Chains A and B, each alone.
Chain A
Amino acid sequence: MTTSRERLEAVGNQIPPLIALIVLWMLLWGEFSWLNLLVGLVVGIVVTVAFYLVPVQLSGRVHPLQTVVFFVRLIVDIVRASVDVSWLAVKPRLVTSNAILEIRLRTRSDLILTWTAVATSIVPGSIVVDIDRESSILYLHVLNMQSASDIEQFRRRVLDTERRIVRGFGSHEDVERMRGVLPANRLSARRSGKELS
């Protein structure tokens, strides 16, 4: 049985998607007006009621600067990787050696898992083949992996993406979980330092 409090929370959870739908409605019309806001609200409510989604657990934490860092870095990655993949497609000698990699993410949030999956698969060169939601594992098909060090580097890149997302809008718990792990460049620096000593 749902208590009135639970019902209130369920309605509350629908509000951010509703706002997103209203913003989308205005984006489509290309202007802000009160009429658009009103019609967007009505359409948004109809859509949220008619196509009911599983409630998404929002983290309730947004760090604007880190979020911007994530998006800027995402665009840079897309541009760089697009050039790489296009070069791979047109270069005279076609060598393809690919890999399907298992990448264990540290987050336990569905939302962050989804964001990481979309962010890594929008960057050319990797496609999500399967996801293990229970233990937050992504299985990615990666283009042009020649050696073990390529694979390591790619793995680290995905984990870095995850960290940027969590820093941007992950929950406090996830941020704590990330804190235990050093960023990739420092990690490798420490590793090489260890080998030296």
Chain B
Amino acid sequence: MSAVLHDVLTAILVLAGATMCLAAGIGLIRFPDVLSRLHAATKPQIFGLMAVTADVAINNFSVGTVTLVVAIVVFQALTAPMAAHLVGRAAYETEHLRPDLLIVDELKDRRADR
């Protein structure tokens, strides 16, 4: 791989990763309630992590780094939704949500039926 192409690829991946993490931080402050903040806190960050680790794998290309990167991404991908689910569920059960932000709440309808 030529040096220039290598640098460009690195720049794109690291910048993309950093932008995602920045956006996650901004979203955390700007979004209005717990559930929407969770979206900002847990998600774009995964793509950010994928981009940054992919860059690490490209720069130190060896079997060891690639497998480690795969393990990191898989674990992040498995654990982040769980954490989000637990916090989200707790927030919903304890009514830490703003019904005015929801256009429909089918879970509430469902519970009302019972």
Contacts and interface: CB of A to CB of B under 8 A. Distances in A.
Contacts of B48: 82
B81 A94 contact: no
Contact of A27 (B71, B92, B110): B71
Interface string B96-114: 0000011111111110000
B23 A85 contact: yes
A88 B44 CA distance: 11
A82 B81 contact: no
B26 A26 contact: no
A111 interface: no
Contacts of B38: 127, 141
Given A90-B26, A127-B38, A100 B44 contact: no
Contacts of B103: 97-99, 145-146
Contacts of A143: 36, 39
Interface in B64-114: 64-65, 67-68, 70-71, 77-78, 80-81, 84-85, 88-89, 92, 101-110
Contacts of B84: 121, 127-128
B67 A30 contact: yes
Contacts, number: 140
B64 A102 contact: no
Interface in A71-117: 75, 78-79, 81-82, 85-90, 94, 96-102, 117
A141 B87 CA distance: 12
A141 B92 CA distance: 10
Given A98-B102, A99-B105, A122-B80, A86 B67 contact: no
A47 to B, nearest CB: 15
A146 B26 CA distance: 22
Given A130-B89, A145-B103, A89 B81 contact: no
Contacts of B20: 82, 86
Given A128-B88, A146-B103, 15 more contacts: A28-B71, A31-B63, A79-B47, A85-B43, A89-B24, A89-B26, A89-B27, A89-B30, A89-B40, A94-B30, A99-B104, A99-B105, A99-B106, A122-B46, A139-B106
25 contacts: A30-B63, A30-B67, A81-B43, A82-B20, A82-B47, A85-B39, A89-B23, A89-B30, A89-B40, A90-B26, A94-B31, A96-B31, A97-B103, A98-B103, A100-B107, A101-B104, A102-B106, A118-B77, A125-B39, A128-B85, A128-B88, A129-B85, A129-B89, A130-B89, A139-B110
**Closest 9 pairs between A and B when the two form their complex, measured CB to CB:** A30-B64, A89-B27, A86-B23, A124-B43, A82-B47, A102-B106, A121-B81, A27-B71, A27-B67
Interface of A: 24, 26-28, 30-31, 75, 78-79, 81-82, 85-90, 94, 96-102, 117-118, 121-130, 139, 141, 143, 145-146, 151
